[in-house]
Amino acid sequence: MQGASAFQEILKKHTDPRIHAFVIWEPVLFSDWAAPSTAALRRLPDLRIQQYWDKSRLLSKAMGEKDDSSIVWDYVAVYAPGAVWQDAPPKPAYADGPVVQVTSGLSDALARLTPSGRLRLAGVALDPLISRY
């Protein structure tokens, strides 16, 4: 949950309305047996955010999960506009995690890419998947 709160704080600093965030919640920890509660979803009140529950971790698997030790979660990635997800996700311009530890890198990527209109963001799992159209 710290990653979600940290991500919300980053979006408060980067107000470009063209940024759209996709937060993918998935079961990783023992306590993740159900979709996130309303209280958890409220941690991300920014209207640019859409939140999804991925019970089968399909996105994590598409991004390389092979077993429990390779689950992709608490992760964020920045993609260039026009990037297309086909058989596998495209190469991100920026990617790292856990989110709470990479806020400065993500913020720098947003600052560097948003003004020029060259931004498409994504992140995974308990934390954000962002995209700018």
- The DSSP code sequence of 9-30 is HHHHH---TTEEEEEEE---ST
- Give the mean model confidence (pLDDT) for residues 86-115: 86
pLDDT at 133 (0 to 100): 33
Distance CA 36, CA 51 (A): 10
Across the chain, what does the average pLDDT equal?
81
- Contacts (Cβ under 8 Å, ≥6 apart) of 92: 77, 78, 79, 122
Range of the domain at 54: 2-132
pTM for the full predicted model: 0.79
Distance CA 109, CA 10 (A): 11
pLDDT at 116 (0 to 100): 56
pLDDT of 128 strictly over 50: no
- Contacts (Cβ under 8 Å, ≥6 apart) of 34: none
Cis? peptide before 89, omega within 30° of 0: no
26 CB neighbour count, 10 Å cutoff: 23
Number of helices followed by number of strands (H, E) in the chain: 4, 6
For the chain, what is the domain count?
A: 1
pLDDT of 110 strictly over 70: yes
pLDDT digits (tens, 9 = 90+) for 27-42: 998 888 899 999 989 9
pLDDT at 85 (0 to 100): 78
pLDDT digits (tens, 9 = 90+) for 53-95: 999 999 999 888 999 999 999 999 877 667 787 888 888 889 9
